Amino acid sequence: MSNLQTGNFAGPIGSTQGTHRHRPDGLVVRTTTPQQLLWTPTQGRIDLTVTPSLDDGCMTAAWLVGTEHLSDEDCGEICIFEIDAQPVGPTTTARSGLKAHHDPRLTSDMTEVTLPFGADTPHTWTVIWGAGETVIGCEGVRLRTIHQAPTYPLFLMVDLFEVGAPSGTYPKSAIVHRIAGWDFN
């Protein structure tokens, strides 16, 4: 797994506190990690240009995830996109939307979107969130309008990882061409 993110938060050793507690398997903090809040907007805009991985069994994704450093409930996620590697073709399927995780103030709203281009070239994704609304688009086309938005600090995470057993050739790769972000606070 490779990850770029705009901060870090983990609770004390032995606790389950930390950013992005989306797995139910009882993970606990094993090492002390200093808190870093490098860029954590509560509302704003991000433009992200990527070429996703075409390696079998890999997923390329970009999320805004609640930092959880102020409250365990500040854990919602804006899923800008999740793209599973697939044969190169004329279209790309991505998952996009909002995941509540453990935030009782949000309702999960995820869907698959089909884009009219192949995943083998760079494309720019945009998310604008705040004032109770999240808008997600790609290449200047609005894909989703969700009538809710997290109101707490969020980390940007851009990930590449294998979703199954290791396979194929290495290294696996995706390309992040550009990220631009605006904090509307």
Q: Binning pLDDT at 50, 70 and 90, where does residue 81 land?
A: very high
- Give per-residue pLDDT as tens, 36-80: 899 999 999 999 999 999 888 899 999 999 999 999 899 999 999
CB 160 within 8 A of CB 173: yes
Would the pLDDT of 21 be above 60?
no
Considering the four listed CATH numbers 2.60.40.10, 1.20.1530.20, 3.90.230.10, 2.60.120.200, the one that applies to the domain covering 2-183 is: 2.60.120.200
Please give the full DSSP string across 90-105, using - where no structure is assigned. Answer: S-EEEEEEEE-TT-TT
The answer to whether residues 96 and 113 touch, using CB atoms and an 8 Å cutoff, is: yes
Contacts of 8 (CB under 8 A, 6+ apart): 19, 33, 34, 35, 36, 155
Six token digits for residue 45: 């805009």
Domain boundaries, the chain: 2-183
